[in-house]
Amino acid sequence: MREEITIPPIISDGTYRILKTMVEKDDKTTFVLMNDGYGEILTLYTYGEASKLVDMLNTNSDSGWEYSIMGVGE
């Protein structure tokens, strides 16, 4: 059984997910929500945490895919 990481609501400023945008050679665009490695959609609870992850993913993307922050409820 996996351990759940709970972030106290006191430091939460929202709920965010990471969206991966892939544009294929035929200009077909595919959108994918990042998962947490356990088959669940990754959910982050501070904009700063989401922003750091997106910056790291975009810096290390050698395939040209783009990562962005999606606020839940937007």
What's 26's DSSP letter? T
Which residue has 């959108």 as its token pair?
Answer: 31
Model confidence at 53, in pLDDT bands (50, 70, 90)? very high
Which tens digit of pLDDT belongs to each residue from 3-36? Answer: 665 545 445 577 999 999 998 888 899 999 999 9
Q: Is the pTM of this model over 0.75?
A: no
- At residue 61, the pLDDT reads 85
Contact 35, 42 (CB under 8 A): yes
User: What is the predicted pLDDT for the residue at 51?
Assistant: 92
Average pLDDT over the chain reads 84
Identify the three-state secondary structure at position 30: strand
Question: DSSP 3-state helix, strand, coil percentages of the chain (rounded to 5)?
Answer: 25, 30, 45
